[in-house]
Amino acid sequence: MSEVLELGKRAKKASVKLANVSTELKNRALNAMADALIVNAKEIIKANKKDLEEGKRRNISTALMDRLLLNEARIEDMARDLKEVAFLKDPVGELVKGRKLPNELEVLQVRVPLGVVGLIYEARPNVTVDAAGLCIKSGNAIILRGGSVAINSNLALTDIIADAGVKEGLPENCIQSISTADRAAVTELMKMHGYVDVLIPRGGASLIQSVIKNSTVPVIETGVGNCHIFIDKSANLNMAKEIVVNAKCQRPGVCNAAETLLVHKDVAEKFLPGILRKLQERDVEIFGCPITHSICSDVNEATEDDWKTEYLDLKMAVKIVPSLNEAILHIQKYGTNHSEAIVTEDYSAAKSFTEEVDAAAVYVNASTRFTDGGQYGLGAEMGISTQKLHARGPMGLEALTSTKYVIYGKGQIRS
């Protein structure tokens, strides 16, 4: 029997038990998992160093190396996130709605776990802990398959938190990681219909599209983030500079970082020189449209590919647009339905932007970097869903549940 099939069988069995575990036990386990991360920080960092060395050997980008890095502060953050998830309300068993029919049947709709969640992700080992914590609190078993560049970190984290959870009374095998970096394991996981109830891919466009096209398991599409910021003609330009720099530079290797800056033509000559200087001071490489290039000649000329690209790096495309409508049309053509922002002091412009831009998160006068489960008060996230079925936006506990109907009768039969 293959490793993946064995994991699937174990997870399915564990999910049946986990679905009926008490909130108290789940919370106790989550806190124990958090404590175990702190106690075993040196072991985690040691495993992570192996991955960092492999990342250097593969010459991965600085931004991706940052996503891969674990240190004491980041381990403490992961532990804190688990404790926050423990503090959140348990969605399992929640009454969504109920009513009594004319025939006296009492119909209740209640929240239930999805079952077994498969997560396929790339270079961020903190996802291992966030995802496991959310699945435990929402009553789901999880099978994790992280990227090969982070395999040592992911396996160490999985072993530590899974062991801590079982010691507190969680079912064995409710948190598991695939131990091989072989791509065939991903293919097999995608075919685990009957053992895995939903697959969530987190990573680049090629990974997500591969899972969508090849999986026989239902898929929740997440996170390619070709995110835009539009600077309207009425914008507070000082505010705009701060928002753009934050959205691009704070963590450029994540999906909610801004990739394209759109600027209204009426403020371009006033706004562009200052913002581009601020970005270049932070080593951002600029790819500009012809008008951008005419205003600031020291930028690269943008190609069609630049409007389509999720850089995940210190790079940004810049385009001057003649109107709000043209900005919206550009986003409709090139956006990935993730996070989009407008900076404006015009209520009508803000209203048009929020109504006409189709994205999981639409911001007015704020950075796209806030599209995050923790920032939204969800404790953590499984990913940011960019589709419309079942869940959209940062996926917290509620997004990891389905519902079922429970009907109470008094002997009624259908005529």
User: What does the pLDDT look like over 166-213, one tens digit per residue?
Assistant: 999 999 999 999 999 888 999 999 999 999 999 999 887 888 888 999
The mean of the pLDDT values for the chain is 95
In tens, the pLDDT along 209-266 reads 889 999 999 999 887 899 999 999 999 999 999 999 999 999 998 899 999 999 999 9
pTM of the model: 0.87
Give residue 167's pLDDT.
98
C-alpha span between 222 and 81 (Å, rounded): 21
C-alpha span between 36 and 148 (Å, rounded): 24
Give residue 224's pLDDT.
84
Give residue 204's pLDDT.
78
C-alpha span between 283 and 142 (Å, rounded): 39
Whether residue 288 has pLDDT greater than 90: yes
Give residue 1's pLDDT.
66
Q: Can you read off the two tokens belonging to residue 5?
A: 């099939």
| List of domains in the chain | 3-222+382-408 (3.40.605.10), 227-370 (3.40.309.10)
pLDDT class of 359 with cuts at 50, 70, 90: very high
